[in-house]
Amino acid sequence: MTQTEKFLHAVVIPLYGKDCFSLDLSAYFHELVAAGLLVVLVDNNPGALPAHVMEALAVGGQWLANGNRGGIAGGLNRGIDWACQAGACFLTLLDQDSRISAEQITQLRQPLEREPQRRLVLGPCIWDAQRSRRHGRWRASAGDLEATRLLISSGTTFRSGDWPVLGAFHEDLCIDFVDHAWCFRAQARGFELAQHAAVYLRQQFGEMHPNPLCRRLGLQLYSPERHYYSLRNLRWLCRQSYVPLDLKIKEGLKMCFKPWLWLLCENRRCANLQAICRALVAPLPGAY
């Protein structure tokens, strides 16, 4: 295998949290590397890298220390920038707990190779593990692609040559609504978004909510810190001209009720109240 072939396609995986290194990642890394993919791990944790991750890196992966600078957005940006400089032609982004085979990653790349002039960002179809149903909205289109207007970052695939036009993920947002902002801005810049009908990614969104009413309403359990980012970032998102009006209305209406459920139906009520108050008065992130 030549150096050019090896770096044809890179996979960027940010790592975060005390449990991220306990996941069975090593075998997965070996599978991706053996298929000729460049695996870029972005460590958003402080401290030394565990031995089993070092073992995985020894077979061809690349590790970058980020120290949670810019949250998930910063981790993705650092990994993408490194992969582009290393010569990767295509990039796929993954969460640390996502599993998609090397063959499926190749399938995501193929429409980009087939239509090199088409401004296209691809992702897999997402299967919501908690609700046992497909996640999101889409509309059928020709061939193996289904048009959509929103992709989650995990599985998102694009050409490295398009990265300067697509632009970085907004690091001031840190985590919540990072995908929304990036996807809608990409469409405003002339890109199509599509899901590959033959590729499915099973995804877990947060923790199962302990309250039956919240589960019935489709809410997952998140920390007070995540509540802070979701409310503050929604205030910012609703001010962006490239975000569709119907999404602003939908998310705004949902956020009229969610804080009350956080206070009434979750155990960390004081911390949630503090997060809500902080989010309502916090300075908003800068322009994007």
Cβ 176 vs Cβ 230: under 8 Å: yes
Identify which of 151, 166, 130, 159 has the alpha carbon closest to the alpha carbon of residue 196: 151
State residue 108's pLDDT score: 96
Q: State how far the Cα of 80 lies from the Cα of 75, in Å rounded to an integer.
A: 9
Mean pLDDT on 87-91: 96
Please indicate, yes or no, whether residues 190 and 252 belong to a single structural domain of this protein. no
Residues 68, 185 within the same domain:
yes
Whether 237 and 162 share a structural domain? no
92 in any annotated domain: yes
The residues, any chain, with a CB within 8 Å of residue 163's CB and separated by 6 or more, are 80, 84, 91
Instruction: Give yes or no: residues 51 and 82 share one domain.
Output: yes
Query: Are residues 48 and 107 located together in one domain of the fold?
Result: yes
Residue 288 is assigned to a structural domain of this protein: no
Who contacts 206 (Cβ-Cβ below 8 Å, separation ≥6)? 220, 221, 222
Is residue 25 scored above 50 in pLDDT?
Answer: yes
Q: Is 133 exposed, middle or buried (0-12, 13-18, 19+ CB in 10 A)?
A: exposed
Domain boundary among 203, 232, 264: 203
pLDDT digits (tens, 9 = 90+) for 175-209: 999 999 999 999 999 999 999 999 999 887 778 89
Q: What is the pLDDT of residue 206?
A: 76
Residue 149 in contact with residue 138, Cβ under 8 Å?
Answer: no
Q: Which of 185, 203, 221 represents a domain boundary (last residue)?
A: 203
Phi first, then psi: give them for residue 263, nearest 5 degrees.
Answer: -80, -35
Q: Give the pair of three-digit tokens for residue 169.
A: 């993920």
Q: Could you tell me which residues come within 8 angstroms of residue 99 by beta carbon, excluding any fewer than 6 positions away?
A: 28, 201, 202
Confidence class of residue 129 from pLDDT cuts 50, 70 and 90? confident
**For residue 264, pLDDT beyond 50:** yes
**What pLDDT sits at residue 7?**
56
Q: Do residue 169 and residue 226 come from a single domain?
A: no
Residue range of the domain that includes 116? 3-203
pLDDT tens-digit series, residues 36-49 = 999 998 988 877 66
Examine the domain organization and report whether 134 and 11 are in the same domain.
Answer: yes
Rounded to an integer, what distance in angstroms lies between the CA atom of residue 120 and that of residue 126? 18
Query: What is the separation of C-alpha 231 from the centre of its chain, rounded to a whole number of angstroms?
Result: 18
* Residues 216 and 199 occupy one common structural domain: no
CATH assignment at residue 150:
3.90.550.10
Judgement on whether residues 261 and 150 belong to the same structural domain of the protein: no
Over 70: is that where the pLDDT of 23 sits?
A: no
The helix-helix angle for 224-237 and 245-265 (nearest 10°) equals 160
Entry pTM:
0.91
- Indicate the number of domains in the chain: 2
Residues 241 and 117 in one domain: no
Give all strands (DSSP E) within the chain, no chain letters.
9-15, 38-43, 62-65, 90-93, 120-128, 133-135, 139-140, 145-148, 157-159, 192-203, 207-208, 220-221
Q: Which of 203, 224, 257 is at the close of a domain?
A: 203
Confidence of residue 132 (pLDDT cuts 50, 70, 90): confident
What does the alpha-carbon distance between residue 212 and residue 215 come to, in Å, rounded to a whole number?
5
CA distances (Å), origin 60, targets 32, 63, 140, 156: 10, 10, 38, 22
Q: For residue 287, is it within any domain?
A: no
